[in-house]
Structure 1
Amino acid sequence: MELRPLHPLDETDLCRVIRAALVEFGADRPGFAWQDPELDAMSKTYAASGWIYLVVAEAGNVLGGAGIGPLSGVDATCELQKMYLAPSARGKGVGWQLMGSLLEHARVLGYRWVYLETLSGMVAAQRLYRAWGFLRIEQPLGQTGHGGCDCWFLKELHGAGGSGKQRYPSEH
């Protein structure tokens, strides 16, 4: 399997994987990524400065992906977004590779924190987040538009700058 940046030709297959996962986990309704306006044209969104989306592909087939972008309303923080894998790609270490690559991109882009939102039913995903050092927090941060999520996680990136004195990112 290969990890590579999202290309416009990937969008149809990627959208299919994302929507199937949202249905699988009961998130095919308002308050979740299902209604995100960029879902059908993600390559435009993730081409902007401070954004990146990586696709997982095998033999030319898109099996999922994940991205990061600035978290609206929170300083020095990016959001891990739209991390979904087809069932055939799960349990093979692909999520681990994807997370490692995105965390490195976040460091290079100068983010100090990585935030994510998920569902309590996504148990395997939460194990991955915890294994990478994400800590569960009590309430959401920023303005994601995903009010349906019921679990929030935050990770401080080491080596991304900052004094090390601030415990949580500041909202504005």
Structure 2
Amino acid sequence: MRDYYRDFLIRNWEQSDRTSTAAVISYVLSEYGLGWEPNGADRDVVKVEECYLAAGGEFWVIEHQGHLVGTGAYYPVNRGEKAVEIRKMYLLPSIRGIGLGKYLLQQLEAAIAARGFQQIWIETASVLVEAVKLYESNGYQPATGVETPRCDRVYVKYLNQPLLGDWELGIK
């Protein structure tokens, strides 16, 4: 991945990004009163190679003027049919409200769809108000089965669903 939104570079994560990635995510979590959990919910950030790259997922970072300012990632999960979970979608406060989050979500969805996945799952916390609003306004439906202790919401979006014809719906 190498893409631009305005003057923001969205690119694949590199090993040299590990510390900056952790700092961005930790900062955003603390802003909302949530803790950084390197041995728990954030283990995947410490072990990107194992949790994302080796598992068939992707981890992207967002740069602005040479500084990491955001992240977004996904990996396959055993939940439903051909499913992935979008994770670690975080933007520093200084770059929110310009459409970058929506663009990042759309790019993640496009990459996921291009790889043949059919379901996208997202877990989040109610206190992440902007994230909840973003997901709900982009077709994510509330679901059940929260697996991450600090999260209290789970959403799902179905991709590539064929449209049903009248005959399939029993309409004559």
State the TM-score, normalizing by the size of structure 1.
0.81
Which residue is 1:64 aligned to?
Answer: 70
Q: Distance in 2 between matches of 1:79 and 1:112?
A: 11
Work out whether 1:3 is the aligned partner of 2:10: yes
Q: Give the Å deviation of 1:140.
A: 1.6
Q: Distance in 2 between matches of 1:29 and 1:58?
A: 23
Report the AA paired with residue 11 of structure 1: R
Find the structure with the greater CA-based Rg: 2
Q: Distance in 1 between matches of 2:142 and 2:113?
A: 20
Q: Distance in 2 between matches of 1:4 and 1:85?
A: 14
Q: Give the Å deviation of 1:54.
A: 1.4
Q: Deviations over 1:19-70 (max 9, x none)?
A: 111112222166x986432322324432225301111111111001110101
Higher relative contact order (CA 8 A, sep 6+): 1
Q: Deviations over 1:107-155 (max 9, x none)?
A: 1121100000111111111111122211112x126xx4x1231111110
Which residue is 1:169 aligned to?
Answer: none
How many residues get paired?
157
List runs of 5+ in structure 2 lacking aligned partners: 1-7, 165-172
State the TM-score, normalizing by the size of structure 2.
0.81
Report the AA paired with residue 14 of structure 2: H
Given that 1:54 and 1:98 are in contact with CA atoms closer than 8 Å, whether structure 2 keeps it comes out as: no
CA RMSD of aligned residues (A): 2.4
Given that 1:6 and 1:43 are in contact with CA atoms closer than 8 Å, whether structure 2 keeps it comes out as: no
Q: Distance in 2 between matches of 1:148 and 1:114?
A: 20
